[in-house]
Amino acid sequence: MAQKILTNEYKALSNETWTNISLVNDNIFHWSVALIVLNPDSLYYGGYFKARMTFPANYPYSPPKFQFDHPLWHPNIYDDGRLCISILHPPGEDAMSGEMAGERWSPVQRVETVLISVLSLLDDAECSSPANVDAGVMLRNDPVAYKARVAQDREKSKQDIPAGFEMPTHESAFQVPAKHDDFSWSDSEEEADFDEGSSDEEMFDAGEATDNDEDED
């Protein structure tokens, strides 16, 4: 069951612009994942952040593991690239951490949920119990220096962009489809009766009149 679920999730995420995924050695339980930040207001905008995800044999009943290839300077990222994030913790409440069951992993979660949570975490750090204490202190006491340090990670991450891969932008990812200017109404009675300025009441009256004419015939 795990293999079938992961295969379906992999196919769906392959069409997304904010991530670039591939299988490691064609193993559906081991993914190479790149997160692409499309929010222009983010400190991480324009970065290409590679990571690895490994899935247990009983997925989705147990959470996957997520680890950045290159650790980022962030209060909730360990020196080895692992994350301190509730959604990757085993199901159930944890009295020690104070995490509620709804904050942790559950079988209804999916890979997309995890990746979106990671993206959210990047710009919404939890500094009360940091995995990287120094990063947490810097964010709190010297945000300018923290921003500069993040910029270094962001620029360094661009070295991992694959040759020939076109990085999406905020504009390209959320581009509104162009209107079809060549579309026009045909010259008919319906166009006159139901023009753009007609009220709901007028439209109803016109429809009722048409029905009555048909009945008389």
pTM: 0.75
Decide if pLDDT at 17 tops 80. yes
Catalytic-labelled residue, pool 84, 87, 114, 138? 84
Do residues 88 and 66 lie in contact, with contact meaning Cβ atoms separated by under 8 Å? yes
Asked if 64 and 88 count as a contact pair (C-beta separation under 8 A), the reply is: yes
pLDDT over 90 (residue 20): yes
Structural fold of domain 1-174: Ubiquitin Conjugating Enzyme (3.10.110)
Model confidence at 193: pLDDT above 80: no
Whether 136 shows a pLDDT value over 70: the answer reads yes
Q: Give the pLDDT confidence score for residue 182 in this predicted structure.
A: 40
The predicted pLDDT at position 174 comes to 55
Mean pLDDT of 2-24: 96
The CA distance from 157 to 34, in Å, is 10
Residue in the structure block whose two tokens are 């709901």: 200
Determine whether 127 is an active site residue. Answer: no
pLDDT band per the 50, 70, 90 thresholds, residue 117: very high
Average pLDDT over residues 179-190: 38
Any idea what the Cα angle at residue 115 is, between residues 114 and 119, rounded to 5°? 120
- Residue linked to tokens 């904050």: 103
User: 10-19 long-range contacts, Cβ below 8 Å, gap at least 24?
Assistant: 10/111, 12/112, 13/111, 13/112, 13/115, 16/112, 17/168, 17/172, 17/173, 18/119, 18/168, 18/173, 19/115
| Averaged pLDDT for residues 107-111 | 93
Residues 39-81: pLDDT tens digits? 999 999 999 999 999 999 999 999 999 999 999 999 999 999 9
If DSSP states are collapsed to H, E and C, what string results for the chain? CHHHHHHHHHHHHCCCCCEEEEEECCEEEEEEEEEECCCCCCCCCCCEEEEEEECCCCCCCCCCEEEECCCCCCCCECCCCEECCHHHCCCCCECCCCECHHHCCCCCCCHHHHHHHHHHHHHCCCCCCCCCHHHHHHHHHCHHHHHHHHHHHHHHHHHHCCCCCCCCCHHHHCCCCCCCCCCCCCCCHHHHHCCCCCCHHHHHHHHHHHHHHHHHC
